[in-house]
Amino acid sequence: EVQLVESGGGLVQPGGSLRLSCAASGFTFSSSWMHWVRQPPGKGLVWVARVNTDGSRTYYDDSVTGRFTISRDNAENTLYLEMSRLRVEDTAIYYCAREYYGLWTGYYFDVWGQGRLVTVSS
């Protein structure tokens, strides 16, 4: 079964750091581009970051550039999101998601994790 399972997260003070992990199984992780998407409580989805198959190319939303780092360990089939200088507005459920590409279907998210809540509060 294709699966993504996030871990980490929790409560952190403003200015603090946290690392999220996303364990992949059931597919060839090293062949998939991966993303992080977040959703503040009661609000919409926000794309956060994207990484290519070998981790050499990364892309970020402007709101997290310079503070968040997406990375991956293909030997461990795990995706990471290192978050630093956290702000109250970073409070959200964080999802990892797999990118799918098809010639006729384009690029989209085809597999999602269950989500992990990160709360930034003093």
- Taking CB under 8 A as the criterion, the residue among 50, 72, 98, 116 binding other proteins is 50
- Taking CB under 8 A as the criterion, the residue among 1, 41, 75, 106 binding other proteins is 106
Q: For residues 15 and 117, which CB has a smaller minimum distance to other proteins in the complex?
A: 117
Closest by CA to 82, choosing from 91, 74, 70, 94, is 70
φ/ψ of 89, rounded to 5, equals -75, -5
C-alpha span between 68 and 8 (Å, rounded): 15
- Give the position of tokens 């990375």: 71
Using CB under 8 A as the binding rule, whether residue 27 contacts other proteins is answered as no
# residues contacting other proteins (CB under 8 A): 25
Using CB under 8 A as the binding rule, whether residue 60 contacts other proteins is answered as yes
- Taking CB under 8 A as the criterion, the residue among 67, 71, 115, 117 binding other proteins is 115
- Taking CB under 8 A as the criterion, the residue among 55, 59, 71, 119 binding other proteins is 59
Q: How are beta strands 78-83 and 18-25 bridged, if at all?
A: antiparallel
Calculate the dihedral angle through the C-alpha atoms of 105, 61, 54, 29, rounding to the nearest 10 degrees: -60
Q: Residues in the site for other proteins, rule: CB under 8 A?
A: 35, 37, 44-47, 50, 59-62, 95, 99, 102, 104-110, 112-115
